[in-house]
Amino acid sequence: MRSLEHAYLLGVEGVTEVWLVRHADVYDALADVHDPPLSARGREQAQRLAQRLRRLPVAAVYASPARRAQETARLLSDEVRLDARLGEAAARFTGGRLTVDERPEVVVDRMRRAVDDVVATHPTARVVMIGHGIAILHYLADVLRLTPGSLRLYPPFTGVSIMRARSDRRAVGTLFDVSHLEAQ
């Protein structure tokens, strides 16, 4: 059984654990469509995520420069490192439908570079990266060796996806877990 766990980088020395987290909710009280702040619901979600993380050692928190990602991250840590590569895929709403304008390969490439840099900077540590749904989905699809855009999964607000990395190996262990949002 251990060899199977090791194949997924569980219980292996030298592994960096990257928590890819979608920002908290902004849509309950959406006022600024371009760069909205967290809603009251979003602040509560981020606070619950912070409570979950308090029990764990976290080496660093990174965030997209978007206001919603920064506000989520700042509820987790006073020291937040901004990385534009964690930004959402360029997209627009037209007729009630989302159209993604940025090619999936471009999104995956920038997300991969951001994660690879974090893994190199924080070997054997746990790092939290606050980003956006489409970008995280595309990156996870790539790690899972799926075609970007084919992972049909709703990315809930403050959903935690855990990816483990060692050297050039990557393994996804959790997809968009929101157990911290369950009733207390």
The DSSP H or E segment spanning 177 is strand 169-177
176 contacts: CB under 8 Å, gap ≥ 6: 22, 153, 154, 155, 156, 159, 160, 161
Strands (E), 107-166: 126-131, 160-166
- Tell the residue number behind the tokens 């764990």, with chain if given: 56
In a domain, 5, yes or no: no
Distance of CA 152 to the CA centre of its chain: 16
- Cβ atoms < 10 Å from Cβ of 148: 20
In a domain, 9, yes or no: no
CATH of the domain at 163: 3.40.50.1240
In a domain, 7, yes or no: no
Written as tens digits, the pLDDT of the chain (184 aa) is: 568 888 888 888 999 999 999 999 998 765 556 788 899 999 999 999 999 999 999 999 999 999 999 999 999 999 999 999 999 998 887 777 878 899 999 999 999 999 999 999 999 999 999 999 999 999 999 999 999 888 889 999 999 999 999 989 999 999 999 999 997 6
- In the chain, the number of structural domains is 1
Domain that holds residue 66: 14-181
pTM attached to this predicted model: 0.93
